[in-house]
Homo-oligomer: A and B are copies of this chain.
């Protein structure tokens, strides 16, 4: 944390309480090899430091499931399961918070979920509200609100992958005061989320961190290619980081989450205060 930065937002000079390091891990998970995937995350991070790390959706299990039994066997109870436990241990070791996607089991239900954890333990569990494509075969639609959690003095919102397609997801997080949106992803449509997330950042004046995976996953006669291009976007829509399409990579950006407090795009327009919900259909 660097204290005492001053910078301009529109016409104002803002005194910033601190600068935060935010990173993502773009990786190629190996299907079903939970331990190896956790170790790979740690290996990729190496000696890099960040206050917040965002990992891909289902980073620990892989994505192309072939049966309900398989999903059930890989899904973990949260926070009791190994992955959440290991992530909390890693958070302690790194002195960081992590937002990571995993398959979660509660009773008979399996969710495509994300956990937010810190050195002190679990902060939030989010269950994906908008399931993509054949995920509907394996997962129950999420039943948890979009969460916003405190990380190193910042407010971090969580949504997963296809939630990006619905502007209501990022909007709901922004209306709850999210300064940074952590967006674990397993994107297969090239270039789509890269565009929508720039617009989500601009229309809500928030930072967004999309952690995508890479690699071809072939299982049971199905093959999906994951498209990389993980990215970090500023509240102005400026691209702060973007990774290649095919290689594993860790990126960290120093940013000031308070830059997202000013919702003005000019002295007259505040992108949240100017909303007029009385005219909006639900």
Contacts and interface: CB of A to CB of B under 8 A. Distances in A.
A269 B132 contact: yes
A279 B172 contact: yes
Contacts of A167: 167-168, 171, 203
Interface string A238-282: 000000000000000000000000000111110100111101111
B171 A274 contact: no
A126 to B, nearest CB: 11
A195 interface: yes
Interface stretch (A38-46, A66-74, A88-96, A133-141): A133-141
Q: Which of A168, A265, A271 has the most CB of B within 10 A?
A: A168
B266 A168 contact: no
Contacts of A169: 280
B192 A196 contact: no
Contacts of A269: 132-133, 162
Interface string A96-125: 000000000000000000000000000000
A279 B133 contact: no
A87 interface: no
Interface residues of A, number: 44
A129 B281 contact: no
Contacts of A15: none
A141 B274 CA distance: 10
21 contacts: A129-B279, A130-B274, A132-B269, A133-B267, A136-B268, A142-B279, A165-B203, A166-B271, A167-B167, A167-B168, A167-B171, A167-B203, A168-B171, A168-B277, A168-B280, A171-B280, A171-B281, A192-B202, A195-B199, A196-B203, A280-B282
Given A165-B271, A168-B279, A171-B280, 9 more contacts: A129-B276, A131-B268, A134-B268, A146-B279, A165-B265, A168-B171, A172-B279, A195-B237, A199-B199
Interface of A: 129-136, 141-142, 145-146, 162, 165-169, 171-172, 175-176, 192, 195-196, 198-199, 202-203, 237, 265-269, 271, 274-277, 279-282
